Amino acid sequence: QVQLVESGGGLVQAGDSLRLSCVATGGTFSNYAMGWFRQGPGKEREFVAAVTRSGGSTDYADSVKGRFAISRDNAVNTVYLQMNSLKPEDTAVYYCAARVFYAGTYNARDYNYWGQGALVTVSS
């Protein structure tokens, strides 16, 4: 059983940067593709980014491409989401998720484990 704990959320202004971290415990981290999802106020959960088990390949939602970067460090069981040029519409609870497969997907149902979420609020 894998436990995921996000950190790094907070209140920032539009244009600022923030980095989220997600630490995994209880499993072999390098066995999992990792993803970030978010759920804004009154919205459904949506895909943000994913990274393969090795970290060699990444994928992004169009809304964050060029502004966000996902990365992972298998030595410390952590996946990161670097968020730059933040916009008010990025305001959401951000969740990290683990999938028992080589690569992540856009579909939240394909992920096996979830963190509790980290709130990111971007003011205009």
Q: Residue 21 is which amino acid?
A: S
pLDDT of residue 27: 87
User: By percentage, how much of the chain surpasses pLDDT 90?
Assistant: 94
pLDDT of residue 120: 98
Distance, CA of 81 to CA of 65 (rounded, Å): 12
* Per-residue pLDDT tens over the stretch 74-123: 999 999 999 999 999 999 999 999 999 888 889 999 999 999 999 999 99
* Per-residue pLDDT tens over the stretch 40-49: 999 999 999 9
* Per-residue pLDDT tens over the stretch 19-60: 999 999 998 999 999 999 999 999 999 999 999 999 999 999
Query: Among residues 105, 111, 82, 79, which one has the least CA distance to residue 18?
Result: 82
DSSP annotation of 40 reads -
Q: How far apart are the first and last CA of the chain?
A: 40
